[in-house]
A and B are shown apart, each in its own frame.
Chain A
């Protein structure tokens, strides 16, 4: 049984048909990537998984259970955490307060403490800036904070929305290293990226989204060799 399964999901923003029948699966322990251009529906797909947007038809199934009846704030409790696009940190709160908010769904004090230490181990920069207002962090640090905050929910499935956006190339690489490390520790990852080159390097499988539809799905290697992907997303002629 796959961990996450989207079956023919249609979603709308008002009258705009944003997702036109998306079906994807994510197996436990995988890194799966969704690549596609701006407006292809990548973020929308993530929003239907977190429950911020409910599909009009089709189903989102986590561990065999349909998520339709659960409001967004309940889905966190099922082990799904999101690293929002554009980082979406609480900019007025300190680094530490942001991390505490990440563990909002949990009440196991000892576990939270452990995970906080783990997060600081993974991102030593955040430890240094523990009491700094997070709005004053650099772009890379904000991305680290958003990722660490999602980890604080101790998710089994982590949804990452364009973690490389607006980061310097050096930082992009370190972000992707950390994603792999998180994955090795047992967290399944669904990664949405415009930077197809990097995403396909760390993912096992991938889907290509175009104007609300899946146009291609294959192993990461297969996608990298696909002429259409090479031309449209990897910038090769």
Chain B
């Protein structure tokens, strides 16, 4: 039976408008011009162009794949329509900018932007060219969606790898120069961007590998008994690989990237701590930065060789810093024991500010240095070697993260982890089961605070000087956002979240000004598309998919 599918123009219209609005907004706030300075492949494509075309490509692809019901003609029509429509807003912007001076109220609509959008052509020709380009992008994306998946995947992986390497070419290039010399570097990178030939090489390499891997998977089917022992061997090899990589990472990355990694590590530490409070125990804490500050200032006061410090060694002070923070967690916990949800969030928020303001205050200035902070904090020393370089300090942070990871992991499996989970769901019922809410809550606050205190202590020693303004509310928000994006309650999620929210912006310096905008956008997109986070815990997965699962089960029961 063949039914002729009716063509529904609403889908491409809606997708086109979304993509068009996204790309015109990116232009109007100045992102496109900024990103155009970063070339991905020398002389071929810039980040700015990716920014303009990517939304259209993605939505045209989805329109063609999900809404054309497998009909080629309709898929191509949807794709090109999405493209044309998404081009209209920017095309109008080009025409408008030529007629009126838009810069009075849209300062970012600069001649440079118009030049980029109109490919250097005069206004009318330029806007038509832009429309044509967008249509082409939509059409290409739609035809890509029609390819069989064994062709689609290699192409996609090839593009992804080329894009990723192109995006980080500045950092990769500096490492290549370090290891293989600048002559070799010039072969691969032109200026700061990938050489077109090398880009093509990477593309074919990644695509080829995908094809090869796909073939191997289909031909290799082993008997069950063999594969289990193979699996466990493979798992051990993976573990060994991870350990070796972690150990040699600073050597590979060099000083600058190790420093970036160290910052990520501190946020992982804090994320693991807040994950216990929010992810495991379900207590929303917005003043988490307070413990970071307490850890840092404890380290500073105890070790500083300046007038305010006691001159202890890093290792002697470290356990004390962690204990101080844990104690502060306990102290915060006691007054908020009876609070839940929003009230708890507000009180903890205030606590974070109180600590920062106390540190800034004249009252504590003789002890904590006020706005001038505390200087001359020594770096840790091990067997007479002072860990000065970021590559060396990396190992201290790595050790801290591994310990925190291990503790979190054990806790989540232990009786206490269960108690937190039960408390998170229903405090009354948990209490009626025999769970002591007071200790359960206080332990969550203390463990969380201890990890953050450790992070703070490491920060103080890493920076060698600390100031109150390093402990703003923004840090609490960052840590909360990173655990939400990674997946509440999930340990790998914390690492992913920290890499995305702390690592990426460091590598893509152009983002710096737009960092908060990016956080906001990322949060909105995540909450709509993948509310359980990038690497959700089992429990989160369950919670968010209970509806689907029960529907599925009742459908089964109905049959």
Residues of A within 8 A of B553 (CB): 132, 136
Q: Which of B419, B425, B432 contacts A82 (CB 8 A)?
A: B432
B433 contacts the other chain (Cβ, under 8 Å)?
yes
Interface residues of A in 97-143 (CB under 8 A from B): 97, 100-102, 104-105, 132-133, 135-136, 138
A9 contacts the other chain (Cβ, under 8 Å)?
no
- Is A102 in contact with B433, judged by CB distance below 8 angstroms? yes
Interface residues of B in 408-429 (CB under 8 A from A): 418-419, 421-422, 425-426, 428-429
**Least Cβ–Cβ distance between B340 and chain A, in angstroms:** 15
- Is A72 in contact with B432, judged by CB distance below 8 angstroms? yes
- Which of B422, B429, B546, B549 counts the most A-chain CB atoms under 10 A from its CB? B429
Measured CA separation A102–B430 after assembly (Å): 9
Q: Which of B426, B432, B550 contacts A136 (CB 8 A)?
A: B550
B50 contacts the other chain (Cβ, under 8 Å)?
no
A92 contacts the other chain (Cβ, under 8 Å)?
yes
B125 contacts the other chain (Cβ, under 8 Å)?
no
Q: How many A-B residue pairs have CB under 8 A?
A: 78
- Which of B419, B422, B549, B554 counts the most A-chain CB atoms under 10 A from its CB? B422
B437 contacts the other chain (Cβ, under 8 Å)?
yes
A198 contacts the other chain (Cβ, under 8 Å)?
no
- Is B543 in contact with A92, judged by CB distance below 8 angstroms? yes
- Give me the interface of B with A, judged by CB distance under 8 Å: 418-419, 421-422, 425-426, 428-437, 539, 542-543, 546, 549-550, 553-554
- Is B550 in contact with A50, judged by CB distance below 8 angstroms? no
Q: Which of B431, B435, B546, B554 contacts A52 (CB 8 A)?
A: B431
Residues of B within 8 A of A88 (CB): 426, 428-429
A133-B546 contact, Cβ under 8 Å, with A73-B434, A104-B433: yes
Across the interface, name the chain B residue whose C-beta is closest to A146: B429
Interface residues of A in 54-81 (CB under 8 A from B): 71-74, 76-77, 81
5 A-B residue pairs with Cβ-Cβ distance under 8 Å, sorted by A, are: A72-B432, A84-B432, A92-B539, A93-B421, A105-B433
Residues of A within 8 A of B425 (CB): 90-93
- Which of B432, B543, B554 counts the most A-chain CB atoms under 10 A from its CB? B432
A73-B542 contact, Cβ under 8 Å, with A84-B429, A90-B426: no
Q: Which of A73, A82, A138 contacts B435 (CB 8 A)?
A: A73
A153 contacts the other chain (Cβ, under 8 Å)?
yes
- Is A133 in contact with B542, judged by CB distance below 8 angstroms? yes
Q: Which of B421, B433, B550, B554 contacts A92 (CB 8 A)?
A: B421
Across the interface, name the chain B residue whose C-beta is closest to A94: B542
- Is B434 in contact with A104, judged by CB distance below 8 angstroms? yes
